[in-house]
Chains A and B, each alone.
Chain A
Amino acid sequence: MSFEGLKEERTSSHPFERGLTPGRFMVLVGPSVLFLLAILLLTPWVGSADVTWQRVLEGASPDREIFVVARLPRILFGALAGGSLAVAGVLFQAILRNALATPFTLGVSSGSSFGAVLAIWLGLDIVVLGVPMVSVAAFLGALLTILLVFMIARTRRALPTFTLLLAGVTLNFVFAALILFIHYASTFTETFLMVRWMMGGVNDVSYPLILKTAPPIAIAILWLVWQAPAFNLLAAGEDWATTRGVNVGRLRKAGFIVASLLTGLITAVTGPIGFVGLIVPHALRLMGAADHRVLIPAAFFGGAGFLVLCDTAARTVMAPTELPVGVVTALLGGPFFILLLKRRSGDLF
């Protein structure tokens, strides 16, 4: 086949298609970055106590304490958490080829909740070497879920979509039942701790924690961005990807593990925070960012800004009482999810 005729084509009425260029990347990812920057610059000044930047910069003062010790780490970790959860959502959606999939769909969140609840029940609500044991148990719960999903969904083909979904739904039920059982067997104090944990919040964070969690998250995001073209094909279809040279089985397994680890890592610290992984990717796709090379970074920045915004609302709407941010995202996310379902009539995303 020849290349003749391409020269005239370039000057025809339809522009020469250039694909994803650096310029187009900036146009699509830029708004999410600007949104996050604006949120990071504005939200530290919002809260139940009035803090002014003059007094923060003056040196030791209550304002400085509130700003540096209370608000800033919470905002920074909130950003890390929101970004990771949004990217995990993107991945679960690509793997299951379903725009309504979330980290909850495959049971990872309920697995880590089970781990945390079990730890509280066993009296492991302690800190060893600077690491809370409840978080360790929650992370192990997420790992256990990965293992179980793999065992259930492994058949002739590698992790078929439908079996994965069923495995996730089943695990959600099993973990929910186990959590109820532990609740029933626990004391009032334990139950209170468990319920608070399961509401999901970014209240209990510190600078060392941020420094420990940021590097693995950064590595995961970089790997995902590098693999983004293959995730495009996987999201488009299994045969579509295979006949275009993608090793679907391997990519799907790797994607599932990375998404689960991201979810597990964040959930271990914050408890389950729902809907970030659903709302953010969906909004971005509506704005034209379906290409995973754009969607993954945009979801990270957009999700980071979104969760910090929700957490700021959680800190202020009932001030001086602080709501868990999981309550705020769920209140926003539930109706949003129903809206999506209603709009889905023509089998559009």
Chain B
Amino acid sequence: MLYNIHKLSFAYTAPVVLNTINFEIAGGDFVSVIGPNGAGKSTLLKLLTGLIEPSSGSILFENRELRSYRPDELARKIAFVPQETHVAFPFTAAEMMLMGRQSSRTGIFFDTEADSIAVNRAMQLTKTKHLAKRTFNELSGGERQRVVLGSALVQEPSVLILDEPTVYLDLKHQVEFYEMLAGLNRQGLTVVTVTHDINLAGRYAHRILVLSSGRISADGPPDIVLTPRLFEDVFGIRTHVVRGPEGGTYVIPSL
């Protein structure tokens, strides 16, 4: 198992955000975490990336306590893509992607052949080569998100963790982005996303983890987990759950 989460709890102050949850994530899986607002999804992702530490319980990553890893060790294994990235300075897309090499740089000062190979490969995977010299801030939302994904891939991680990565993208760019994730997943990369877009999750994820009020209320393949009953119980909304013409599970709220 890549992750073993055991009796994990987290609280910022008074209300408990995550309440003694247990689950595992296998290497190579594509997991989407869904749930109503305030269910603790983003907190769970921050815990999995090591940005915050559990209040109690343990997160084992590759059979070792996550908090025992040095930041640079972690950066070579776990990469994170946030909802949105804003930068106050005119870095180019290439410079943003090169920053993914921070923990594996071998050169003392200049970028090396290994650095540029990693960056060029990530550009190829995310179709961002033509953006290399452009200022990151001047790119469109979809282009920016691809560059951020590229920078995460430059870290050559074994798991990619994404917090609502397509929330600010239009339909075309949402699908394009998830297609890219699916392609990376087929090449062996473990993918964990948080999303409100249940239809995207149902189409691309192999496993859906439903969080509500800080607990896991369902966990399994999309076609088994996503049922009208679940949406009634967890989201408080009546739905039709249908098969897509090309497969996949889709949810339509009923009137």
Q: Do A and B bind each other?
A: yes
Interface string of B119-138 (1 = CB under 8 A from A): 11101110001101000011
A244→B155 CA distance, assembly (Å): 8
On whether the beta carbons of B87 and A239 are closer than 8 Å, the reply is: no
A235→B75 CA distance, assembly (Å): 18
Residues of A within 8 A of B85 (CB): 236-237, 240
On whether the beta carbons of A1 and B102 are closer than 8 Å, the reply is: no
Output the least CB separation between B145 and chain A (Å): 14
Q: Does B99 contact A (CB under 8 A)?
A: yes
A233 with B99: in contact, given A245-B74, A291-B91 (CB under 8 Å)? yes
On whether the beta carbons of B105 and A6 are closer than 8 Å, the reply is: no
Q: Does A59 contact B (CB under 8 A)?
A: no
Instruction: For chain A, residues 86 to 121, give those with C-beta under 8 angstroms from any C-beta of chain B.
Output: 93, 97-99
Interface string of B182-222 (1 = CB under 8 A from A): 00100111000000000000000000000000000000000
A226→B109 CA distance, assembly (Å): 7
Q: Does A25 contact B (CB under 8 A)?
A: yes
Instruction: For chain B, residues 129 to 171, give those with C-beta under 8 angstroms from any C-beta of chain A.
Output: 129-130, 132, 137-138, 155-156
On whether the beta carbons of A20 and B111 are closer than 8 Å, the reply is: yes
A290→B135 CA distance, assembly (Å): 10
Residues of B within 8 A of A188 (CB): none
Q: Does A232 contact B (CB under 8 A)?
A: yes
Tell me whether chain A's interface is mostly helix, strand or loop, or mixed.
loop
Interface pick from B1-9, B18-26, B76-84, B234-242: B76-84
A17 with B75: in contact, given A1-B187, A244-B99 (CB under 8 Å)? no
Output the least CB separation between A180 and chain B (Å): 33
Output the least CB separation between B113 and chain A (Å): 9
Q: Does B94 contact A (CB under 8 A)?
A: yes
Q: Does A18 contact B (CB under 8 A)?
A: yes
A17 with B86: in contact, given A25-B110, A236-B96, A245-B71 (CB under 8 Å)? no
On whether the beta carbons of B89 and A285 are closer than 8 Å, the reply is: yes
Residues of A within 8 A of B51 (CB): 239, 242-243
A12 with B92: in contact, given A1-B189, A236-B99, A349-B137 (CB under 8 Å)? no
Output the least CB separation between A164 and chain B (Å): 14
On whether the beta carbons of A17 and B99 are closer than 8 Å, the reply is: no
On whether the beta carbons of B111 and A99 are closer than 8 Å, the reply is: no
Interface residues of B (CB under 8 A from A): 49-51, 71-76, 78-80, 82, 85-92, 94-96, 98-100, 102-103, 105, 109-111, 115-117, 119-121, 123-125, 129-130, 132, 137-138, 155-156, 184, 187-189
Nearest 4 interchain pairs by C-beta: A19-B111, A245-B75, A245-B103, A245-B72
Apart from the given pairs A93-B89, A229-B102, A243-B75, 15 other A-B contacts in the complex at a CB distance below 8 Å: A3-B121, A9-B124, A16-B116, A99-B89, A229-B105, A236-B85, A239-B51, A239-B80, A243-B51, A243-B78, A245-B72, A245-B75, A290-B92, A348-B137, A349-B88
